[in-house]
Structure 1
């Protein structure tokens, strides 16, 4: 139980900017429980966002509410995943050989492709959220989108080889296996069981993970921390887009 708690705290400390002033040991067991906790951390982030929206939504016009939602998402994660998104965009935009792509991703300076990718990511998120609020999206929907996005990152981490035998992805991956993916899926299965209206997200995220995994394997030959961040950010955008399509064309 202690290893589980330490692993969960490590996941919160790594994936969020929620202050948890507890020193946790890093070892095989705690790192495995940290990976297993990724979707649970997504659920917590979605819950925090839903609570904030519950209190501020009555006082803000939809445009400001959408921007507030995106801003809170960035604040809760400290922009950690956005950094990976920009690094990957710079690497892909360079059209350089693979080794050069890795060098670009390590460069702390963000290039033009990274800035452009960030702009479009945040813009599309804001537009989708605005449109979903217009359609009376339940504010707890973010819990499911955040959880599935982080579960997708876990699946990719387990399914794909590490691109390099160094870095965060290598440290996370070397202690995990398929069983950890099943553990990670338990809280996601639980919330979907409680709210079956969100079953449509399961096949949509399977499609997203499969195609993203193929793309990563072709372009980078393996996974790293920046690509995991990209998977989370891309997964959130995908969830918003699929939810918008579902509400517009299925429910309506």
Structure 2
């Protein structure tokens, strides 16, 4: 039980800017529980986002969307956005594999990284705006960060690292497919109350398989940046799914 609690705290330290004023042990068991707690931390983030959206129901949808997106980025400290920018710079360089890895390690942000950041946040903001304007039930906002973080867990566990070093590789040594399944437990429990979440789970699974194939093809494996980028990409993927879903649901037969 102690390791499970430490695992949740470790996940909070890695995934959020929430201050955790204790030293969490870095052990095999706490690392496993931390990864299993990734979607749980996502649910916490999603719960805060949903509360803000609920409290701003009488505020114009664009303002609410911007507030939700700002809080979303602030809670994670932009950690995963850094991975998106690094990958964009590496791929945009059109360089050989070894050079792409060097570019990913460079702390400087290039033009492709900035473009990826702007368009990612713009798309997330506009899709949030659209869903809020449709007055979609707010359970979707609860689930987005949770499923996005499960996507990161699935990629980390099920895809070999390109190099036998780094944080992602050290975590990977203590994980197995069982941890991917256990990480899904809180999402499955909520899906019993909202069966539509099953479709979201299947969609995220397809996304993880696609990203896994791309990372193996383009980089011969993954690193921590790619796990973070998968979290961001998974959230955007789900926003597009949900927008398409409610767009179809709100179009009348005569409005085609």
Give the TM interval when normalised to the shorter protein.
Answer: over 0.9
1:112-151 aligned within 5 A: 112-151=111-150
Corresponding residue for residue 224 of structure 2: 225
Residue 56 of structure 1 and its aligned partner are, at CA, apart by 2.8
Secondary structure at the residue paired with 1:199?
Answer: helix
Cα deviation, residue 199, structure 1: 2.6
Alignment partner, residue 99 of structure 1: 98
Matched length: 251
Give the structure 2 partner of residue 16 of structure 1: 16
Instruction: Supply the distance in 2 between the matched residues of 1:216 and 1:222 (Cα, whole angstroms).
Output: 6
Aligned equivalents of 1:159 and 1:251: distance in 2?
Answer: 38
User: Secondary structure at 1:194's aligned position in 2?
Assistant: coil
Aligned to 2:239: 240
- CA shift at 1:57, angstroms? 3.2
Task: For residue 250 of structure 1, report the CA deviation from its aligned partner.
Answer: 4.5
After TM superposition, the score normalised by the length of structure 1 is 0.96
**Using the alignment, how far apart are the partners of 2:73 and 2:210 within structure 1?**
26
- 2:175 aligns to what SS in structure 1? coil
Gaps of 5+ in 2: 252-256
* Residues 2-13 of structure 1 aligned to structure 2 (within 5 Å): 2-13=2-13
Equivalent residue for 1:185?
A: 184
Does 77-86 or 47-56 show the bigger shift?
A: 47-56
Deviation string, structure 1 residues 182-233 (Cα, Å, up to 9, x no partner): 1111111111112223232122112211111111110111111100111000
Q: Which runs of 4+ in 1 moved over 3 A?
A: none
Structure 2 SS opposite 1:163: coil
2:254 matched to which residue of 1? none
Q: Normalization by structure 2: what TM-score?
A: 0.95
Deviates more, 1:234-243 or 1:131-140: 131-140
Compute the RMSD of aligned alpha carbons.
1.2
Q: Which residue of 2 aligns with 1:86?
A: 85
Note the C-alpha offset of 1:169: 0.6
Q: CA deviation at 1:30?
A: 0.5
Measured against aligned partners, the alpha-carbon deviations of 1:119-178 in whole angstroms (never above 9, x if no partner) come to 000000111111111111222312211111111111111111012111121121111011
